[in-house]
Amino acid sequence: MRLLTILLLLLFLQPTANSQDSAYLQKADTLQHHIPRRATRRSAIVPGWGQLYNKQYWKIPLVYGVLALPASTFVYNNDMYQKTKFAYEARFKAEKGDNSDLSKIDSKLQNLSIGSLQSYRNIFRRDRDYSIMWFILAWGVNVADATVSGHLKEFDVNNNLSFRMVPYVQPQQQQTGLSLQFHFKNTHSK
């Protein structure tokens, strides 16, 4: 019975076992290839997902911190807009003779005139709309960061390129200056 169990286990595990076949290694190599378009799409769907795909984990709290600022100002400005709008409408109805909503006005807004309430209402509405715009802009910066970082993920930074600034003097023309020298080292033999 024990031998049968071991044979069945080996039989079921056999299809998942991989040899070091060159076709398998090429397939595994393509699976590890970084695709910047994926980072862009993921970051457009969920903020920070592109940074996670790029393995830049330290950027994720920054993304959510930057997005939290316009989100919190939106919540505050929308709340104050709703309160000032209600207070303005209640004062407007009170001028027409309907005092039923005056007691429901927020205590911070009780002593304001109808003109002040209208001005504050417009300011809070404008700031609320700006918060939406800043949120969309911050989300776009998040997507752009994921895209650029995705493209630079496989950027080759090695010692095959060197750069030097060398001072020079030309005594015949009595000039001094800086010379920029680039050196490309080719390690591949032809």
pLDDT of residue 115: 93
Question: In the predicted model, what is the mean pLDDT of the chain?
Answer: 82
Residue 146's pLDDT band, with cuts at 50, 70 and 90, is very high
pLDDT of residue 72: 97
More confident residue, 28 or 69: 69
Residue 57's pLDDT band, with cuts at 50, 70 and 90, is very high
pLDDT of residue 116: 92
pLDDT of residue 15: 44
Residue 185's pLDDT band, with cuts at 50, 70 and 90, is low
pLDDT of residue 16: 44
What average pLDDT score do residues 48-53 get? 94
- Domain segments of the chain as ranges: 36-152
pLDDT of residue 21: 47
Neighbours of 186 (CB within 10 A): 7
More confident residue, 56 or 18: 56
66's tokens: 């930057």
171's tokens: 């005594």
